[in-house]
């Protein structure tokens, strides 16, 4: 079950309604443990029985499957463009630009770079006009999308333009939810 809690960014607090705690089975827990990851916050009981832990694992797995299916649907099926089969499989070692060279060029360390070839055959390196691409996606997710037939080229496009592919306020249940 999901619920949207709108909060004031000025308040610097988030209050979880008792009804939500009751629905999750956490209302009677004396202590909650919070796990954080990039764009993620998960609350679980600080003490769990084996079955409670199984329930948490199952719920997180279902969420992972639902979100993966949602993103795959947003990217669409690969139309055998040829790009999706080779994307992410490059085995060449990346070219490493020393940090002092980046600094001399006025580029921050870790920024995305692109290359192009000049008319005289020189290879030019410049700051990319985006922050994310497929190199930021873990290999296991790329492989899962590839095996499932999702278009990796479309995924890369959506990453590069930072396209919103999920808006809980506008979403109904994902058509892939609960395919058990």
Which residues are within 8 A (CB) of 162 and not within 5 positions of it... i.e. 6 or more apart?
A: 130, 131, 132
pLDDT at 34 over 90: yes
Cα separation of 101 and 8, whole Å? 43
pTM of the model: 0.77
Average pLDDT on 169-177 reads 56
pLDDT at 176 over 80: no
Which residues are within 8 A (CB) of 60 and not within 5 positions of it... i.e. 6 or more apart?
A: 42
Under the banding of pLDDT at 50, 70 and 90, the label for residue 14 is confident
The residues that bridge with 125 in the sheet, in sequence order, are 115
User: Looking at per-residue confidence, does 7 or 49 come out higher?
Assistant: 49
Cα separation of 38 and 53, whole Å? 22
Which of the residue ranges 95-99, 101-105, 154-158, 170-174 would you say has the lowest mean pLDDT? 170-174
Cα separation of 130 and 79, whole Å? 25
Measuring CA to CA, which residue among 145, 152, 179 is closest to residue 62? 179
């Amino acid at each position: 079950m999901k619920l949207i809690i709108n909060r004031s960014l000025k308040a610097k607090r988030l209050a979880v309604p008792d009804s939500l705690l009751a629905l999750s089975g956490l209302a009677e827990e004396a202590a909650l443990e919070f796990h954080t990851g990039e764009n993620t916050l998960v609350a679980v009981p600080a003490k769990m029985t084996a079955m409670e832990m199984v329930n948490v694992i199952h719920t997180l797995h279902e969420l992972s499957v639902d979100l993966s299916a949602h993103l795959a649907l947003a990217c669409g099926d690969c139309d055998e463009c040829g790009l999706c089969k080779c994307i992410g499989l490059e085995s060449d070692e990346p070219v490493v630009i020393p940090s002092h060279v980046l600094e001399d060029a006025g580029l921050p360390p870790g920024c995305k770079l692109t290359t192009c070839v000049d008319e005289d055959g020189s290879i030019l390196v410049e700051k990319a006009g985006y922050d994310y691409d497929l190199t930021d996606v873990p290999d296991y997710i790329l492989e899962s999308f590839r095996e499932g037939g999702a278009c990796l080229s479309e995924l890369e496009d959506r990453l590069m333009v930072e396209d919103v592919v999920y808006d809980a306020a506008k979403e109904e249940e994902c058509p892939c939810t609960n395919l058990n």
